[in-house]
Chains A and B, each alone.
Chain A
Amino acid sequence: MAPSHNSIRQMVSPLLQSFRSLSLTSQNVLPSTSRFFTSSSTMSAKSDKKKSVDPRITLIRYHLQHTATPRPLKFSRTRALRHWTIHRAWMLARRKKLEAEELELQRMYQSMHNTMEVLRTMDEKDGLGRGKEAGRLYRVALEKKGIFGQGGVPIEYARLQTDTPGREAWDHSWTR
């Protein structure tokens, strides 16, 4: 069986080869080209998915490695310690300044408050603060006459107060 088979193959082989080459080329050209688009596109899509880098990472890399970006601070041990010392001192000084400013404001407010309290209870005639004239200076001090200019009105009252805004928000054509 086997020898006869071999002999037949030997006889036919040149023909077969020519055929094979033909058929192979035809196979190679036609179906592969038709398959090329589908398979390659799917393959490349898969590989793209695997290889694709997050655009955010690309952007971060770009900006971090850009020549205009200053290099990260790298200090030696002692220099880092000096830096830390200066930073702490600066924070301390700034906090002290802020605290002092706040205290000064508090002091001023308290002093005004005390003054007003004295004025309110003071009576020029009767020393006890019970008479009609009690707190006269306080009332005078709190009078708001002329604070919006001579005969002026606050801006809130410049227009008549209504429940809803007017149909025309602003009359641009109006002249005095």
Chain B
Amino acid sequence: MSKPLIELKNVSFQYENTHALNNISFKVDEGDFLAIIGPNGSGKSTLLKLILGLEKPTAGEIKLFGLASNQFRDRELIGYVSQKSNAFNSAFPATVEEVVKSGLVKKLGFFKQIPKDASKKAEEVLKAVGLENLAKRNIGQLSGGQQQRVFIARALIAEPKVLILDEPTVGIDHENVQSFYDMLARLNREQNQTIILVTHDVDTVSNRISHVACLNQTIHFHGYKEEFDTISQDQIDALYGHAVRKVH
């Protein structure tokens, strides 16, 4: 049995005297497609920040690739796509390909220039996200959904072992959300890409994932998607204190 890629043991995080997260434990193995679902303010983004090392837990232990989080140096093994697809400079004069290649920045380190074969790699990851024809387009000319795919390609070019996405479909219209999740499922299935997805779209995503974690300050449920399916709607409502739609 290989080591879990990400493991949280009794992790808590306190922010200004309120428990943002309480006693969280779960692990992610290679090839998992985990959806973290939970209402607004449930601490989903905080949990991701802890995993990414942008915040430190106030209690508990986070292990990344078997190493304690503070000893873990190979941050490029974790790819991250943020929620705000409009946080970037949309008038920036760069092509899709240039943006994708910039995903190599951490892997290469200072001094090293982006290698010549990066274009070929960019082509491959753009194909994986279904944008192979847009490589030479200006990033600002793409739709919100396409831009978000470009950012996934930017994360994929560094060959991360784990891909973390924080509500990637915010601001993307409904039809495109479906094909967006199909694309993620394909990555997971065909390339054994481990994915952690924080989302609101429980109903859309549920037939594409392998694991579910329900978060509201603490983990209320964590397990296989099949187990999640056996929980009744009433139980879920009780866990959250209010209705969360569960469709499968």
| A associates with B | no
